[in-house]
Every structure is written in C-alpha cells, then in structure tokens.
Amino acid sequence: KQEVTQIPAALSVPEGENLVLNCSFTDSAIYNLQWFRQDPGKGLTSLLLIQSSQREQTSGRLNASLDKSSGRSTLYIAASQPGDSATYLCAVANSNSGYALNFGKGTSLLVTP
C-alpha cells in the first residue's frame, strides 16, 4: 500500500525566504505526482503535476522535482510571500485504483511579514 510522508509538518518563515517542502513515497511505481495548496476550509488547488517520466515542473515561483527511484519529491518556493501561507499537500497516483491519489498529511506553511 502506497504511503506518502511530508516533512516538515509545519513551517514558519519570514517573508522573502526561499523554502523547500519534502515529500516521500514508499512505492516508486507511480503514474504521476501532484502538489496542491489548501487554504483553511477550502478545496484543493492544483499547483504542479509531474508525470512519472518527468523530473521537474515549474510554475512562476514554484518548482517541483521528482526522483521516482528514490521515492522523493520536493516543492521549492522562491521569495516567499504572506499570501503563500496555506497547507501544501503532496499526492501520488498509482494505476491500481483508477489513478486515485494517495495523499500525505501536508505541510502547514506560515509566511510572516
């Protein structure tokens, strides 16, 4: 059974810092990996999708990498802003359940002014 772990569970940084969120998974036979953002009481917003054949994806100040063989992904956020404060979720899709996602418990990020 796929298990997804995110470290750290919570992170507080001052505005302007670059930061890295970590995600690891136990079964490397994934189909793809997605990073999401969740604001309190809201649904999930997709940030980046990395297919299993890819090594990284970039969108604005966000960069996500994937090392499938070692079961790891990182989300890099450059020049953090208070508006980046949210919970960040990593999820991997395996093809054995209709490509359903297995989620980590998330990293709660607070960026202080």
Residues that bind other proteins (CB under 8 A): 4, 31-32, 34, 36, 41-46, 49, 89, 91, 93, 97-106
32: which 2 tokens?
């793809």
- Residue 9 beta carbon to other proteins: minimum distance, rounded to whole angstroms: 11
Residue 112 CB, nearest distance to other proteins (Å)? 24
Closer residue to other proteins in complex, CB, 35/111 = 35
Tokens for 81, please give them.
């802003």
User: What is the token pair recorded at 102?
Assistant: 């297995």
DSSP string over 56-91: EEEETTEEEEEETTTTEEEEEE-S--GGG-EEEEEE
Could you tell me the smallest distance in angstroms from the CB atom of residue 74 to other proteins? 19
Residue closer to other proteins by CB (options 16, 99) is 99
Identity of the residue, 76 or 103, whose beta carbon is nearer to other proteins in the bound complex: 103
Based on CB atoms, which residue is closest to other proteins, 77 or 101?
Answer: 101
Going by C-alpha positions, the residue among 11, 13, 12, 16 that lies closest to residue 79 is 16
Q: Which two three-digit tokens encode residue 8?
A: 């750290």
